[in-house]
Amino acid sequence: MSSFLDTVSEWSSSYLLIAFILYCLSFFLFVLSIIGSKWSGNNEAQHKRNYGKWGFLTAIIGFVGHLLFFFTRWYASGHIPTSNMYEFMTFLGMMIIAAFIVIYAIYKTPLVGMFVLPIAVLIISYAAVFPSEVQPLVPSLKSNWLKIHVTTAAAGEAFFAIGFAGGLMHLLRTVDFRSKGKAARREQRGVEFTLFVILILAAFILSIFSFNAGGYQAQFAPPAASDTAATKEQAVKIETYVLPPLVKPYGAETLSMTPFLGMKKPLLEAPYWMKGVSAGRKLNTVIWSLIGGAILYGVLRLLIRKPIGAAISPALQSLEAEDIDEISYRAIAIGYPVFTLGALLFAMIWADQAWGQFWGWDPKEVWALITWLFYAAYLHLRLSRGWVGKRSSWMSVIGFLIVMFTLVGVNLIIAGMHSYAGVD
C-alpha cells in the first residue's frame, strides 16, 4: 500500500508540472494574440480571437491537470493538500486559474490572460521554493475547518488577483507615459514601482531555484552547538542557507559555507534585536530578493531602453478603459464576501477550536484583517464616493500587494502561530 501511495504521489507531481507547462504555453498564446495581431493585416480581430481561444483552451487543460494534482495528492496524503505553504500556494495558483476561467468566459478579453497567467505561474513557482514532501498534519490542523477556512480564503484571494490584473491593466492603459507633468510623473513612478515589486518576487524565485540547482549551502549554529558534536536538540538550531549568506544569524558560528564569487564568509551579521524564528536567514533572503529584483529590472530597462510600463502601455490602447475597470471591480466584488467568510469568520471559529481563542493577534491574523479592511474601503469608496477609474485601479493594485505581503512578506519577516505551515 505504501509503494502505491508513493506512486500516486509521483503522479501528482507530474500533473502539476504538466499544468505549469500548459499555463506558460497559455500565456505565450495570449501574448501572440495581442502582439501578433499587429502583423495580421486586416484580420487583426480574427487573429486575436483565434489565439485567445487557443490560449483559453490551453489554460483549461492545464487547470484539469492541476485538479488531478490536487486530488491525487489528497489521496496520497489522506488530507486536503492545503496544510503547508507548498500546498497552499499551489492551491492558490489553481484558484487564480479558476477565477480567470470564470472572468474570461464572461468578458473574452485576451489581455486578461496575458496579465493573470503570469501571476498564477509566479505563485506556483513560489510554492516550489518550499518542501514538497507529503507531511503529516500537526494536531492543530486536524479539523474539518482546514478544508473550509483555507479553500474559501484562497478563493477570495484568487479573485483579488484578477482585480489586481485588471487594475494594473487599467493604469497601463490610462497613465500618460509621455507626459512630463508632476501628476503624470507620480503615476508613472507608481506603475513602475508595482512592476518592480513583481520582479522582486520573480527574482526571489529565480535565486532560490538557481542556487538550489547549483547545490549551494551554508550552515550556522549557536556557539554552544559548534564547540562539540551537535546533540539532537542542538541540531534543530542549526540554520541552513540556500542563498549565499550576505547576513548571518546574530551570534552564530559558521559550520560550513560554499564560497561564492570569492566570498568565503558572511559580509554582515543580523542585528541583535532580530531574534525571531530564522530571522537572519529571512533577512538574507529579503536582501537577495531586492538585489535580484534590481538586477532584473535593470536588465529589462537596458533591453527595452524605456520604462517597462511605457513599453507595455501601447499594447493596451485598443481596449476600452471602462471595460477593464469593470472587470477589476467585478472580480473584487465577487472575492470580498468569499474572503470575509474564509479568512475571518471561518478562521476565527477554527482558531477558537485549535487555540482556545477567536483572536490572538498573530501576524497572519492581523494582516488578514488589514486586507479585509482595505478592500472594505475600496468597495465603500467606489460605491458611495464614486471612486472609479484610476483611483479604483490604484486601490485594487495596492490591495493585492497587501495580500502578497501577507502571503510572502509575513512568512519571510515575521514569525507567528502560522509558522507550522512549512515555512521554517
- Tens of pLDDT, residue by residue over 342-385, are 888 988 887 777 777 787 777 888 889 999 999 999 999 999 98
| pLDDT value of position 285 | 85
Alpha carbons 294 and 423: distance in angstroms, whole number: 25
SS3 content of the chain, % helix, strand, coil (to 5): 75, 5, 25
User: For 136, which DSSP code?
Assistant: P
Q: C-alpha grid cell for residue 236?
A: 534543530
| pLDDT value of position 51 | 87
pLDDT tens-digit readout, 66-105: 999 999 998 888 888 888 888 889 999 999 999 999 989 8
Choosing from 281, 306, 331, the residue where a domain stops is 306
Residue 373 placed within a domain: yes
Alpha carbons 127 and 91: distance in angstroms, whole number: 9
**What is the domain count for the chain?**
2
Entry pTM: 0.85
| pLDDT value of position 155 | 92
Residue 316 placed within a domain: no
**Domain, as residue range, for 103:** 2-177+321-420
Q: Is 180 helix (H, G, I), strand (E, B) or coil?
A: coil
Residue 61 and residue 162 in one domain:
yes
| pLDDT value of position 371 | 94
Residue 169 and residue 209 in one domain:
no
Alpha carbons 419 and 424: distance in angstroms, whole number: 6
316 contact partners, CB below 8 Å, separation of at least 6 = 111, 169, 172, 173, 324
Residue 55 and residue 97 in one domain:
yes
Residue 408 placed within a domain: yes
Residue 128 and residue 19 in one domain:
yes
Residue 301 and residue 369 in one domain:
no
| pLDDT value of position 224 | 59
Amino acid, res. 342: G
Residue 220 and residue 340 in one domain:
no
| pLDDT value of position 424 | 42
Amino acid, res. 97: I
Residue 145 and residue 43 in one domain:
yes
Q: Is 268 helix (H, G, I), strand (E, B) or coil?
A: strand
What are 244-247's contacts with CB under 8 Å, separation 24+?
Answer: 244/211, 244/216, 244/218, 244/288, 245/218, 245/220, 245/284, 246/284, 246/287, 246/288, 247/280, 247/283, 247/284, 247/287
127 contact partners, CB below 8 Å, separation of at least 6 = 85, 86, 87, 88, 89, 90, 93
Residue 401 placed within a domain: yes
| pLDDT value of position 56 | 95
Residue 39 placed within a domain: yes
Residue 242 and residue 384 in one domain:
no
| pLDDT value of position 395 | 95
Residue 314 placed within a domain: no
Residue 207 and residue 157 in one domain:
no
Choosing from 275, 306, 337, the residue where a domain stops is 306
Residue 12 and residue 159 in one domain:
yes
Neighbours of 373 (CB within 10 A): 11
| pLDDT value of position 227 | 47
Alpha carbons 156 and 406: distance in angstroms, whole number: 14
Choosing from 248, 283, 306, the residue where a domain stops is 306
Share of the chain above pLDDT 70, in %: 87
Regions of the chain short of the pLDDT cut 70: 1-6, 8-9, 36-42, 44, 139-141, 223-237, 274-277, 411-424
